[in-house]
Amino acid sequence: MTKTVYILNGPNLNLLGKRQPEIYGHDTLADVEAVCAELGEKIGLKTRLLQSNWEGQIIDWIHEARDAAQGIIINPAALTHTSVAVLDALNTFDGPVLEVHISNVHQRESFRHHSYVSQRADGVIAGFGVEGYALALRRMGRLLA
Ligand code: DHK
Q: Hey, where are the domains in the chain?
A: 3-144
Alpha carbon dihedral 28, 124, 95, 136, in 10-degree steps, equals 50
CATH code given to domain 3-144 = 3.40.50.9100
46 C-alpha to center of ligand 1: Å? 25
**Is 115 annotated as a binding-site member?**
no
pLDDT > 90 in the chain, percent: 99
pLDDT tier at 45, thresholds 50, 70, 90: very high
The alpha-carbon radius of gyration of the chain (Å, integer) is: 14
Ligand 1, atom 5: closest residue by C-alpha: 78
**Is 103 annotated as a binding-site member?**
yes
Task: Find, among 116, 71, 60, 61, the residue nearest to 94 by Cα.
Answer: 71
What is the reported pTM?
A: 0.98
